[in-house]
Amino acid sequence: MKIEDIIKTEVELPLSRRAIVNLLYTENWVMDKINIELKAYDISLPQFNVLRILQGQKDKPANLSTIQERMVSKMSNTTRLVDKLIRKGYVKRIICKSNRRKVEISITEEGKDFLKKVSPVMTDFENRITRNLSREDLNLLNELLNKLRT
């Protein structure tokens, strides 16, 4: 559906505005679907991503700033996000011995089990939501987004 029809504007948008509005709208549309998917597991996307980052560390714990720089959306408050994961039992936090300003955050067995359950669900979701795009389409979209940010 054309973006002009979605936001019900009579006048055609200038090309650059149309692309930006479409980008914002589509991101919202995707996020809605992701949230619906994750709601069943009582976790938010940022929380899920932190778990994935920690698992990617292969048992080497990460500190807060490492997590922050790897997040898709830059978090203003990673402390409280980690707090929530701790309350759920998915991660643990210990103060770094070598530098007591730092904290070391690592995934628990419970967190790993959770990921083992939810990761395939998300992978399946990603495939479903992009099913209308061919491999070339996906590559092209990826390149255009990179180019936009250049």
Least Å distance between CB 100 and a copy of itself? 25
E strand or H helix that includes residue 66: helix 64-70
Question: Does 26 interact with DNA (rule: CB under 7 A)?
Answer: no
In order of 56, 84, 121, the CA distances from 124 in angstroms are: 20, 26, 5
Alpha carbon 142 to its chain centroid, in Å, reads: 16
Instruction: Pick the piece of the chain touching DNA (CB under 7 A) from 5-13, 16-24, 62-70, 131-139.
Output: 62-70
x-or-dash string of contact with a copy of itself, 25-64, rule CB under 8 A: xxxxxxx------------------------x--------
Q: Check the CA dihedral 90-53-50-145 and report its sign.
A: negative
Among 2, 39, 116, 117, binds a copy of itself (CB under 8 A): 2
Least Å distance between CB 47 and a copy of itself? 15
CA separation for the pair 23, 61 (Å, rounded): 35
> In the structure encoding, which two tokens stand for residue 70, read together?
């790897």
- Binding footprint of a copy of itself on the chain (CB under 8 A): 1-3, 7-11, 14-31, 56, 69-74, 123, 126-127, 129-130, 132-133, 135, 137-142, 144-150
